[in-house]
Amino acid sequence: MTDRQQKIVQNVDQAREMILAAERWIWKHPQAGFTEWEAHNYLKEKWEALGYKLVEAGDIPGFYTDIDTGRPGPTLCIMAELDALDQGNHPEAVNGMTHACGHNCQAAGLLGVAAGLAALGALDGLSGRIRLMMVPAEELIQLPFREGLRKKGVIHFYGGKAEFIYRGYLDGVDLAMMVHTGADRDDVDLGCHYGSNGMIAKTFTYRGKSAHAGGSPFNGINAEYAAVLGINACNALRETFKDQDHVRFHPIMHGVSSAVNIIPDELSMESYVRAITVEAMKSENEKINRALAGAAASMGARLEIHDRPGYMPEWRFPPMMRLVEQACVDLVGADKVAFDYERIGGGSSDFGDVVSLMPGVQFRAYGATGHGHGTDYYIVDPDKACVNAAKAQLFAAEALLENGAEKAREIVAAYEPTFKSKEEYIAFLDSILQDLDAVEYNEDGTVTIRYK
């Protein structure tokens, strides 16, 4: 460890109690995306006590602050997430919500980064600016609620980072970094893999006709059966998904507003169509729409489909991964670090949207146990998940911004983003949005199916 790195370790260790308290507090106050006001307000107070002036999103949770080294150079954004998940079966769920993805540790870790950078001399020798950002709504859940916010004009996109990009909060940022909490690896402290799926988010509603379920079921059209057929039609497609595309389709059904003695006339579902390329996201989504619509047609039911932009595929930039890996090795030693330059994860994150515009790395700090998003998920080593995460990010920031921000400049210059501008990115995402009346019954006995 260099003297500078030792100083970072000391600075973060001085904030350890505050970091660990934040981890516990936020764990106990889980809220879903775009409603995380309790965590927002808790963190706002801590950040302001450290002397930061925050720019708050205002009508949604989340904030950022800028730290200027006073020397020219690129702007590095370090992010963390605020939101929890509907995991009502977790023993420690609060109001049906749990931090079963460990975002509470991310938020606590970024508080540690903020504390470390507020320490005397923390910016000595660094160039450029650092933007620290607390972002809402990474988990793309509760789609009808988000559609309501979109229709009211509060948000334009369902994902917090996509929304922050849309609002201009990443304008002028050149590269980005974040840590995600990792579970179930006792052998290592810090890790990273190469890529993660992108996805299209969708809600769809089957509509049938209600009737007395005992007296006159022959007068009804069972929307629930149509939905089950739709799921089965999609399941029959699964072997047409190419292995290399990493396609995932995992619909959930909402409850029917019906009774056991009524043929249900409406059933809504949500799903993602995930894949590792934008082309596969779009082509497989079309196949799924066609299958869902065909199932409706087979029963005389109708189907509304609402496709919404989800997240872009996430590719971490290998030269930046190597720099972050070295920072992790400097902190905990090579035997506690696992960076995989080939593995692709099936999950998705709106950090994919960030790296569609600039180089970035989302890496992992372990310290949780159980399954991510599961009822057995707990934080067991908050020092690893939060305190180490803060130190590792500060080590990486130091490596990027020292020596006139030489490494950051090299990485930015070498990166070829998917989109040349924010406007191009927004136009692409907007092009995914579609509302389809997917099945139409014609007078002449034909059926029209719209799937794209």
Residues 65, 47: contact at Cβ < 8 Å? yes
Site for Zn ion in 428-447 (CB under 5 A): none
**Min. distance of Cβ 178 from Zn ion in angstroms?**
10
**Min. distance of Cβ 292 from Zn ion in angstroms?**
28
Residues 160, 137: contact at Cβ < 8 Å? yes
Give the CA distances from residue 91 to residues 23, 83, 165, 327, 381, in Å, rounded to whole numbers and listed in that order: 18, 18, 36, 36, 19
> Counting contacts by CB under 5 A, is residue 82 touching Zn ion?
no
With CB under 5 A as the rule, give the number of residues binding Zn ion.
1
For residues 383 and 15, give the distance between their C-alpha atoms in angstroms, rounded to a whole number: 12
Of 25-33, 100-108, 250-258, 259-267, the window that binds Zn ion (rule: CB under 5 A) is 100-108
**Min. distance of Cβ 100 from Zn ion in angstroms?**
9
What is the three-class DSSP state of 101?
coil
> Counting contacts by CB under 5 A, is residue 140 touching Zn ion?
no
Instruction: Give the nearest residue (CB) to Zn ion.
Output: 101
> Counting contacts by CB under 5 A, is residue 411 touching Zn ion?
no
Contacts of 240 (CB under 8 A, 6+ apart): 287
Nearer to Zn ion, 101 or 328 (CB): 101
Nearer to Zn ion, 101 or 199 (CB): 101
Nearer to Zn ion, 128 or 360 (CB): 360
Of 96-104, 151-159, 407-415, 431-439, the window that binds Zn ion (rule: CB under 5 A) is 96-104
Q: Give DSSP secondary structure letters for 353-411.
A: HHHTTS-EEEEEEEEEES-TTSTT-EE--HIIIIIIHHHHHHHHHHHHHHHHHHHHHHH
Of 93-101, 185-193, 229-237, 418-426, the window that binds Zn ion (rule: CB under 5 A) is 93-101
**Min. distance of Cβ 355 from Zn ion in angstroms?**
16
**Alpha helix ranges (H) inside 260-376:** 278-299, 318-332, 351-355
What are phi and psi for residue 362, nearest 5 degrees? -105, 115
> Counting contacts by CB under 5 A, is residue 412 touching Zn ion?
no
What is the three-class DSSP state of 85?
strand
| Binder of Zn ion out of 26, 43, 101, 190 (CB under 5 A) | 101
Of 98-106, 199-207, 323-331, 352-360, the window that binds Zn ion (rule: CB under 5 A) is 98-106
Identify the helix (H) or strand (E) that includes residue 119.
Answer: none
Of 99-107, 126-134, 218-226, 291-299, the window that binds Zn ion (rule: CB under 5 A) is 99-107
Helix axes 422-432, 160-167, angle to 10 degrees: 130
> Counting contacts by CB under 5 A, is residue 178 touching Zn ion?
no
Nearer to Zn ion, 73 or 182 (CB): 182
Q: Which of 219, 142, 171, 152 lies closest to 64 in space, CA to CA?
A: 171
For residues 19 and 341, give the distance between their C-alpha atoms in angstroms, rounded to a whole number: 31
Nearer to Zn ion, 101 or 301 (CB): 101
**Min. distance of Cβ 299 from Zn ion in angstroms?**
38
Residues that bind Zn ion (CB under 5 A): 101
